Amino acid sequence: MRVWEVLQRRKDDWEVVGGVKAPDLEIAMHFARETHFRRGEGDTYAVRLTGSDELHEVPESSGIGGVIDREFRRMDSFAGVGGKHREIHEQMRKQGRVIDRPRPPDLRQRRATGEGARA
């Protein structure tokens, strides 16, 4: 799988903000948006195959992500989650309820039989 750099426009220049693995340009552009520009981080981006100088800019630069406000998409909304989780876990334990199925059972079975989702 090829590695692509993800770039964001900063004033008149481009800055590398991350990378994605993708077999070709179409999927690289798609993954770049999905992994870097779905929370209103910017209004334009580009990808570049590692080792290449050719920059591929997203053709359309309007409305990239983040149109609906949701505080859970912000890092700071997750402050103290561990503590909250432990508190809830304890409360539920007192009621005799435990989370015993951390993963969908059908997927777990598939993995056990070697027919995993990643196959």
Partner 1 sequence: MPDDPRLTLLLALADDELVIGHRHSEWTGWAPHLEEDLAFSSIAQDEMAHARLLYELAEPLAGREPDALALGREPQEYLHAVICERPNGDWGYTSARQYLYDLADDIRLEALETSSWKELAGVAATIRLEERYHVEHAELWFRRLAEGPVQARERLASGLEQALPEAIALFEALPGEEALSADGTLPATMEHLLGRWLERVGADLEAVSLDYVLTRHTRLGDLVPTSSGEAEEGPTLEVPGLEREDGRWVHVGAFGGAGGRSGRHTDDFRELWDEMTGLYRAIPGATW
* CA max distance for the chain: 60
Q: Could you tell me the smallest distance in angstroms from the CB atom of residue 57 to partner 1?
A: 17
Contact stretch for partner 1 (CB under 8 A) within 8-16, 41-49, 50-58, 67-75:
67-75
79 binds partner 1 (CB under 8 A): no
- Is the Cβ of residue 13 or residue 68 nearer to partner 1 in the bound state? 68
98 binds partner 1 (CB under 8 A): no
- Is the Cβ of residue 53 or residue 82 nearer to partner 1 in the bound state? 82
- Residue 12's alpha-carbon distances to 9, 15, 84, 109, in angstroms, are 7, 10, 44, 52
40 binds partner 1 (CB under 8 A): no
Give the residues lining the site for partner 1 (CB under 8 A): 20-22, 26-27, 30-31, 33-35, 38, 63, 65, 67-68, 70, 72-73, 84, 88, 91-92, 95, 97, 101, 103-104, 106-107, 110, 115, 117-118
